[in-house]
Amino acid sequence: MSYDFDLFVIGAGSGGIASARRAAQHGAKVGIAESWTLGGTCVNRGCVPKKLMVYASHFPEYFHAAVGYGWSPVESSFDWGHLTAAVNNEVLRLNGIYQRMLDNSQVTVFPHHASFIDAHTLAVGDDKVTADKILIAVGGEPVKPPLPGIEHAITSDDIFHLPNQPERMVILGGGYIGCEFACILNGLGTEVTQVIRSEKILRGFDADIQAEVQGAMAESGIRILAHTDLRGIEKTEQGVNVTVRTQAGEEILVADAVSLAALGRKPKLAGLGLEQTGVELAAGAIATDQYSRTAEPNIFAVGDCTDRMNLTPVAINEGRAFADTEFGGISRTMSYENVPTAIFTTPEAATVGMTEAEAVEKYGEDGIQVFRSKFRPMYYTLPNMQVKTLMKLIVHRETDRVLGAHMVGDDAAEIIQGVAIALKTGATKANFDATVGIHPSAAEEFVTMR
């Protein structure tokens, strides 16, 4: 049977664009549909604009530290409108780059919503399009729980477009998105209260990372309410009243016109017409095998809509592996072992490999050895700032293999990226010990821990 396209991709985020371009490089005729803007969550509402705002939030600390190095005190004011305009202009620039990359790859872009008519046919805007293979790469969307007044809470997607900086913000949720925005806003001068249901933030990360980041956030002035449930949100003339139930009882938190809901994300599957296909779901996400194939043999899925490991580089790698396998004659799969990740809080944290709890569960407490180092980096000595860095290695006793590496402190992501290569190649603690450190640097601590 003849089709309009060899491959049609639904969703032009990081995973979708990577898949489309790689398949086209292999000679496939490719179309892609995106009803929003090119680049997906990472470029438009996530990694890129968030990291730019993280940079902005660090300048007050830089100004303070400069005095210890002989610079005169800096009196500076912050312009929210200037920052958000600059950030959004950078996003628009990146949208244009993605358009040119797709054009250069001869991928046909449809600026419309796509939904299934059957396993090989899609409704794309007012047109019908057929394809031999179809890839779903629609990503995820923020979760808003069904609570009274939740419509008055913005999500993490909306923070970049607020016309004015909030003076008081309530962050709902203790995941990495909520923590990152709590630190950003706090650094920019907003009074922040963060509401979390459990005792600690950053569920799923190593316990030392949780404790170190949470303690530093609290010390920086962020009020963290643990063991607290959201009861409702009420709009007022002065702003928003957020009713919560703490261990001490009910409390009303007063915020400005907005509060930020950062209560997780879910696959964005509404309106896709999956019921017209044999695609199956598991726990609300698209179920796939190791080759990203769904229960419908010609339909595939990558990225956050599969809810496997929701990271931009993972979606990109999944997409390229799919395209190589299906169109390049190179059968390969995505490996989810030792994938590094970072949390752009203040302080920054990064991790690769097993947490201590995961290592204990697999090998037992006697089967592992834990190395920790906590110190004040040289940068903070002259300003006499009590800022600490934490580094941690988890080692398998029997093989001496490093199972996990974790860090909280300046440049954690940059440092762990290099350490991740070592873990990916099976490095042992002896390999770390035999490596000469770069002195003076914080990173050398990873090869001098005894």
Residues forming the active site: 439
- Tokens 């990226």 belong to 417
Segment holding 421, helix H or strand E: helix 412-424
Tokens at 169, concatenated: 């913000």
What residue type is 64 in one-letter code? H
CA distance 107 to 1: 22
Q: Which of 74, 57, 56 is nearest to 65 (CA)?
A: 74
Contacts of 433 (CB under 8 A, 6+ apart): 447, 450
Q: What is the DSSP string of 200-269?
A: SSSTTS-HHHHHHHHHHHHHTT-EEE-S-EEEEEEE-SSSEEEEEEETTEEEEEEESS--EE---EEE--
Q: Report phi then psi at 111, rounded to 5.
A: -80, 55
| Distance (Å) of CA 170 to CA 156, 159, 178, 185, 422 | 12, 13, 10, 10, 40
- Strand-strand pairing, 127-136 and 5-10: parallel
Closest CA to 261 of 140, 139, 84, 142: 142
The whole-angstrom separation of Cα 311 and Cα 343 is: 12
Identify the DSSP state of 338. T
**Beta strand pairing call for 30-33 and 121-124:** unpaired
Residue with tokens 């990359």: 101
